[in-house]
Structure formats: C-alpha cells, structure tokens
Amino acid sequence: MKRQKKFIIAFGGNANSDLGSPDETILFAHKALAARGAVILKESRLFRTPAFPAGAGPDFVNSAALIRANHSPDDMLDLLHQIEAESGRVREVRWGARTLDIDLIAQDETVLPNEAQYRYWQSLDLSQQQVETPGELILPHPRLQDRAFVLIPLLDIVPDWVHPVSGLSVAEMVANLPKSEREEVIAL
C-alpha cells in the first residue's frame, strides 16, 4: 500500500458552470475529491476575491482544503484537472474567467522538481508569468507567497504549515502581504 500524503489544494472560480454558481461548483469539486478516495481533513470557508490580474473578469470565489491521499503529486494534478474538466473548465486564456480552477499548492514538504527549478519559477516577473509556463509540476506553488486569494483560505486550515523553501509559515506569509490585498479577500 502506498504511503498516504497530505496535499494542500486551492479552489477558485468566477464563471457559472452546468453545476451552478462558482460557489456550487467549488463545493462540487470538494465532493468530487472525496468521491475519488481523498480524505478531506480540513476545508476553509468560501471567500470572494477580485479577479487576478486586476480587470481579468468578475470576482472569484476561493477556498482551500487539506486532504490525504495515496496519489503521487503528478497523479493528484491529473485528478484535479479531471475534476476541472467535469465542471466545464476550458483552458483558452491564461488567467481568464473560468468555471473552476484547482491548484495543487503543496504536498507535505516536497519541493519539485528541485530547489533550483522552483526558485527560477518563483522569481519570474509578472510579464513572463503570462507567457511562460513550466513543462513539469512545480511544488510548492511558486506564486503562493504572493496571492492573498490563496493564503487567506489557507489561514483557515493550515496556519502553521511552513513553506519548505522560504521557511515561512502561512500566517507569516499572510502578515507579509500588503494590508490592502488582505482586505480584498472577504469571507462569504
């Protein structure tokens, strides 16, 4: 039997799907993970956040979950993409409106593919992020520390989780965000 791993997952959506509103679609995604054998250990509240980048569409609904599963990180990412597809997710425009976006934020203290590659993707400026995408899974998510819409939901479920590269906890990363960005994330 494979060793159970803990995964931190972030959910977001700002377009209606055949499943309903973004709120309903995100709740579907939580249930779909559980139906496929993931054990949901903790779920955050739902939050409303402005689209990223600014002006990219209607406000998002975001949440996060801590789960346990037997999957490898790549297998988990494939599963998340399957659930996105079931919600009607179509990948046409990077950072455009979407029915469901599920990001694999972290798996335990794993750094993939290695620290040098992680640091490359983490340091990319915004203009390069819009045109360049990695050909392999990067963990932890290289934009984690910059995104209030991910960190605030994570504060609900894993405030003491420590980033394996920066050494900062979720609570410390939230505290490092500008106050204006923290205040844009509103619990529903």
Tens-digit pLDDT profile for residues 69-115: 999 999 999 999 999 998 876 666 555 678 899 999 999 999 999 99
Residue 163 has what pLDDT? Answer: 98
Amino acid at 180: S
Tens-digit pLDDT profile for residues 104-145: 999 999 999 999 999 999 998 877 777 788 889 999 999 999
Least confident of 22-31, 46-55, 168-177: 46-55
Tens-digit pLDDT profile for residues 152-176: 999 999 999 999 999 999 999 999 9
Fold of 5-187: Alpha-Beta Plaits (3.30.70)
pTM: 0.92
Q: What is the residue whose two structure tokens read 């798996």? A: 107
Using a 10 angstrom Cβ sphere, with 0-12 exposed, 13-18 middle and 19 or more buried, the burial of residue 92 is exposed
C-alpha dist (Å) from residue 85 to 33, 78, 135, 159: 13, 11, 20, 30
Distance CA 90, CA 108 (A): 29
